[in-house]
Amino acid sequence: MMSANVTTPTPATTSDPVAPVRKPATKGSLVPPRLLPVLATFVLFVLMFGTGAARYENFGTAQTVANLLIDNSFLIVLAVGMTFVILTGGIDLSVGSVVALSTMVAAWGLQAGLPAPLIVLLVLATGTVFGLLQGLIIQRFDIQPFIVTLAGMFLARGLAFLISAESISIKDETFRGMSGGAVTLPGDIVITYGVVIALTVLAIAAYVLHRTRFGRTVYAVGGNEHSAMLMGLNTARVKVGVYTISGFCASLAGLLFSFYMLSGNALHAVGMELDAIAAVVIGGTLLAGGAGYVVGSLLGVLVLGTIQTLINFDGTLSSWWTKIFIGALLLAFIVLQRAALRRRQ
């Protein structure tokens, strides 16, 4: 983002357009520096996947990738919402709890006999309003996002518990259909509707971030909120907006999660907000805000999923290695980000 700002004005100010313009482009590498983190994540994903394919039979198939998407469709949606928030320099800790609340509202509503489409709307509305309220508190009263969404985290999980402390299973035909239903792609690769929804959300998010005024303001607020405001951008609307989007994504992820689990439980998705944040960070989005891509977050989710799959395939490694590996990766990417930022300054 910085480099784009630095290189573009050069041709306008200089009288000799040829020499100085080429210089910054050839000085670096083939790819623009802003794409480097995403590329690094992609290379990491390919390397990890390659390792798995080389070591285990049946790993290196397209269906394994499809399974990664199936098992993590909800995390992709969650990470997309989180990317918006982190791009503005904020954070949303409430998303895991909102997922739990959504599964609970869905299961409870279906048990009460409400029609499935109404339930879907109800869940999405709950999450969106929840996000909107958090955004309003953060923006109107200038309170740190960390503490507001921490309260939101408590509140959403508490509400889920108040609906029922027990797990409620989902028996509705529509939900079961969404869960069992599959789309067969050419090459006999099977994906679920959840994956289709997640990838659609990703595509819409990419469009909004790069092709709309709202998206540009998101990057501007993350780069420098004060400057963005002085430029006349509607920073208030964007700040409230990103938390609303995150709340919407969290409730949608909750729906996908209830398709996947076919139950509502207040203890679902404990700590999932950390996975989402880790995916976004590993995907190359700067935590300070202003730089990053939703595609990176998708790659981040895939990297996390691959770690899990590798450990499952290995069979000898205990499950807790997943946590340690994710922590180590998180560390590596944070330190790399820091180094990149220092060099830029």
Binding site for another protein (CB under 8 A): 91, 137, 140-144, 146-148, 150-155, 157-159, 161-162, 165, 266, 274, 277-278, 281, 287-288, 318-324, 326-328, 330-331, 334-335, 338
Question: Of 4 and 335, which has the nearer Cβ to another protein?
Answer: 335
CB of 338 to another protein, least distance (A): 6
Instruction: Assess contact for 280 and 297: CB atoms under 8 A.
Output: yes
φ, ψ at 263 (rounded to 5°): -155, 160
CB of 25 to another protein, least distance (A): 30
Question: Of 197 and 278, which has the nearer Cβ to another protein?
Answer: 278
CB of 89 to another protein, least distance (A): 10
CB of 154 to another protein, least distance (A): 4
Closest CA to 98 of 298, 297, 269: 269
Instruction: Assess contact for 262 and 179: CB atoms under 8 A.
Output: yes
Q: Find how far residue 262's CA is from the centre of its chain.
A: 22
Strands 189-192 vs 182-185: parallel, antiparallel or unpaired: antiparallel
The token pair that represents 31 in the structure block: 């790819």
Question: Of 104 and 191, which has the nearer Cβ to another protein?
Answer: 104
Question: Of 107 and 277, which has the nearer Cβ to another protein?
Answer: 277
CB of 126 to another protein, least distance (A): 15
Instruction: Assess contact for 20 and 10: CB atoms under 8 A.
Output: yes
How far is Cα 49 from Cα 41, in angstroms, rounded to an integer? 12
CB of 34 to another protein, least distance (A): 20
Question: Of 159 and 252, which has the nearer Cβ to another protein?
Answer: 159
Question: Of 91 and 198, which has the nearer Cβ to another protein?
Answer: 91
How far is Cα 23 from Cα 33, in angstroms, rounded to an integer? 14
Q: Find how far residue 308's CA is from the centre of its chain.
A: 18
Handedness of CA 98, 206, 274, 180 (dihedral sign): positive
Question: Of 48 and 336, which has the nearer Cβ to another protein?
Answer: 336
φ, ψ at 196 (rounded to 5°): -60, -45
CB of 68 to another protein, least distance (A): 20
How far is Cα 306 from Cα 304, in angstroms, rounded to an integer? 5
